[in-house]
Amino acid sequence: MKANHSSKVIIDRIEGDLAVLVLYDDDGVKFNVPVALLPDGAKDGDHLEMSFVTDDASKESEKKRIENLLAELKGK
Amino acid sequence: MNRKIRSIAVLALLAVAVAALVLFLRHRQAVPEPGPVSGKLVVRFLDVGQGDSELISLPNGETILIDSGDRGSPTVELLKKYAVKEITLIIATHPHADHIGDMRDVMRAFKVREVWDSGFNHATKTYGDMLQEIRDKGIKFATPKRGDMRTFGDVLLEILNPADQPPDDNPNNASLVARLTYGEKTFLFTGDAEDYENSAKPSAWEQMLGAEKGKLHVDLLKAAHHGSSNGTTREVIDAVRPSILTISCAAGNDYHHPHPKVMRMLEQDRNRIKVYRTDLEGTITAVCDGRQIEMSTEKQVAGDRLYLTGDEVAGSVASDGKGQDSRQNGRAAKRSR
């Protein structure tokens, strides 16, 4: 299990509020991302490093919160 | 013994089933529809999903392909269906993937004599790979500018955009825009050329409107940029005054194509302009004998539906479940490549 995964993507174009990103290693893979989520000034033809990092601490704290809520609600 | 006979019978049945399947699939393969028709100019706005691809069969038998659609679109299959053997000229309007994504596959499937390209340095792998393929195959390559032209028998092809200096660093504005003239009839292929409405900012359309003055009228206009609001403005429509307008986009696309502003404008002009769109009607065919243009479409659509916006089509596609179907088809098509 990888805790994080990073890939290179290219901004093929920007259509309104959406950037069309293409995976560098396989241009058959493309997806839209709101321009607002990209670095300032990102534009057509820019290459970006895209990373996904698993945040277990965040997940655990959410789990804990739900656990408490469920316990409270069921206890009523 | 019994078991042996049974297994032979099973094998025989399997063989028959496989043979039947092969025959069935071969039979189902579309019979090529006539490509070039002697004396006629046939222009097909191919249904390649979200993207552009126009196949032009010239009266003298030569073939021009403008754009290829995106990677994974059925362009090669469609070219085979329409009996393409060899492509005289490919025009890559500009280097966005929805216009050139499938170029490499097209160049691998067909002999291509020459490529005209915008020459706009868009730093994507898709564009780099296309150029690499052109180089590896030794295909003739040119980056024409406004004023360049070529004749193919009786058909004249003129480049209207880009000018020597593109207006800005927007790849859409570097789009090769081509006008085709056959006899009395004219066609305008616009790529994704933009017009910054109510702005003095120079754009592809503004440069063309300025350079062509009152001479931009054509009979058939391919709406620039999939019917987006920056591709077809009131100023453009009033200068071009087409009687036929085509829009190439996919049903349920994420980019709001075609734009409500454009569809409202076209609805106002419905008595003057006949609208055709690939998202609703599939591949659109225009056959021209030099005096008239006859239009036909793969699918029939009630007149009022032709003025639905991209988002309205997306809504109706989602609610009748077709959206999912077409996505699945898209995946299947890609897998089989």
Return d(Cα B207, Cα B158) in angstroms, integer.
16
More confident residue, B13 or A72: A72
DSSP, res B32: P
pLDDT digits (tens, 9 = 90+) for B214-225: 899 999 999 999
Residues in chain B: 337
For the residues B296-318, what does the mean pLDDT come to?
A: 92
Q: Does B73 touch chain A (CB under 8 A)?
A: no
Q: Is the pTM of this model over 0.80?
A: yes
Average pLDDT of every residue of chain B = 89
- Contact status, residue B283 vs residue B47, Cβ threshold 8 Å: yes
Flag whether pLDDT at B227 surpasses 80.
yes
ipTM of the complex: 0.82
DSSP, res B37: B
Structure tokens at B42: 């046939």
Flag whether pLDDT at B39 surpasses 80.
yes
- Give CA A32 to chain center in angstroms: 11
- Contact status, residue B231 vs residue B190, Cβ threshold 8 Å: yes
φ and ψ at B268, to 5 degrees?
A: -60, -35
pLDDT digits (tens, 9 = 90+) for A46-66: 999 999 999 999 999 999 999
Return d(Cα B252, Cα B314) in angstroms, integer.
4
Residues whose CB is less than 8 angstroms from the CB of residue B310 and which lie 6 or more positions away in sequence, other chains included = B227, B249, B253, B255, B256, B257, B258, B259, B279
Q: For tokens 């066609």, what's the residue?
A: B187
Average pLDDT of every residue of chain A = 93
Return d(Cα A52, Cα A25) in angstroms, integer.
17
pLDDT at position A1, please?
54
For the residues B248-271, what does the mean pLDDT come to?
A: 97
Confidence category of residue B33, pLDDT binned at 50, 70, 90? low
Residues of chain B with C-beta less than 8 angstroms from the C-beta of A26: none
Do B71 and A27 count as a contact with CB atoms less than 8 A apart?
A: yes
Q: Does B231 touch chain A (CB under 8 A)?
A: no
CB-nearest partner of B96 from A12, A18, A32: A12
Output the CA angle B95-B101-B102, nearest 5 degrees: 130
For the residues B298-306, what does the mean pLDDT come to?
A: 93
> Comparing A19-28, B33-42, B47-56, B86-95, which segment has the lowest mean pLDDT?
B33-42
Q: Does A8 touch chain B (CB under 8 A)?
A: no
Confidence category of residue B330, pLDDT binned at 50, 70, 90? very low
CB-nearest partner of B124 from A10, A16, A28: A10
Do A30 and B97 count as a contact with CB atoms less than 8 A apart?
A: yes
CB-nearest partner of B71 from A24, A28, A47: A28
For the residues B104-132, what does the mean pLDDT come to?
A: 97
Q: Does B258 touch chain A (CB under 8 A)?
A: no
Q: Does A24 touch chain B (CB under 8 A)?
A: yes
Task: Give which of B118, B172, B255 to mutate to test A binding, by max A Cβ within 10 Å.
Answer: B255
